Amino acid sequence: MSRWSYAVIAAAGIAGAIGVMEAAAAAHKVGDTRLATASNFLLLNAVACIALVAVADGSVRGGAWFLIAASVLLAGTFLFCGDLSMLV
């Protein structure tokens, strides 16, 4: 595995942890549905990024495209969910 793969997995882990924290806040403290939506996006996209890294490491050729896709997916997820969380 490359350093890029490890970086994407670490960022996906952080996204998953933030998703769990937002889900807890949405369930217990805040009544707004936008926070629950942001937590769902973070959790599901974190798993998708880890799957993309697994496919990239298992591919014989063209694995960099999967890492690019995972990186762009994570960047978009952080921006979208950050915007939703700021509106709460």
Burial 47-77 (b: 16+ CB within 10 A, else e): ebbbebbeebeeeeeebeebbebbbebbeeb
- CA atoms within a 13 Å half-sphere pointing along the CA-CB vector of 60: 0
Q: What is the pLDDT, as a whole number, of residue 87? A: 85
Nearest-CA neighbor of 9 among 61, 43, 52, 42? 52
Q: Are 53 and 69 in contact (CB under 8 A)?
A: no
Q: Which positions of the chain have pLDDT values less than 70?
A: none
